[in-house]
């Protein structure tokens, strides 16, 4: 049983097609979204040489992603931003204040301010 709809739970992990950039996986807390959908699709992308940008809101996905990258000998490709462990980068290091403000204005649709 999945939710209120009685159906067979799929035996195969649903892989997001290569030409899709976004996917949505919905389910209640603890139902297995990460282990049965997110991580297999991350592994699939790593194996195919794709780049990924992962935002880890809860802060517990990074070690699983690094384990998958390590399994595929791609750990050196993982860059973490704003963490005290692993490789980290400063995305603002070479950006001037005016360049940063101009970028924000462009994002917000304000030109030349």
Dist. CA 111–CA 38, nearest whole Å: 38
Residue-wise pLDDT for 5-43, tens only, equals 556 665 677 888 888 878 888 888 888 889 888 999 999
CB neighbour burial string for 84-113, b if at least 16 within 10 angstroms, e if fewer: eeeeeeeeeeeeeeeeeeeeeeeeeeeeee
Dist. CA 61–CA 56, nearest whole Å: 6
Residue-wise pLDDT for 54-107, tens only, equals 888 777 888 899 999 999 999 888 877 766 665 666 777 888 999 888 888 888
Among 28, 29, 56, which Cα is nearest to 42's?
56
Dist. CA 55–CA 58, nearest whole Å: 9
Dist. CA 92–CA 100, nearest whole Å: 8
């Amino acid at each position: 049983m999945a939710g209120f709809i009685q159906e067979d739970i799929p035996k195969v992990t649903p892989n997001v097609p290569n030409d899709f950039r976004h996917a949505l996986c919905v389910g209640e807390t603890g139902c297995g979204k990460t282990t049965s959908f997110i991580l297999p699709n991350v592994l699939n992308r790593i194996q195919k040489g794709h780049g990924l940008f992962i935002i880890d809101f809860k802060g517990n996905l990074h070690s699983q992603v690094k384990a998958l990258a390590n399994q595929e000998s791609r750990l050196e490709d993982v860059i973490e931003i704003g963490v005290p462990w692993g490789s980290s980068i400063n995305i603002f290091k070479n950006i001037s204040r005016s360049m940063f403000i101009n970028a924000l204005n462009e994002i917000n649709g304000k030109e030349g301010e």
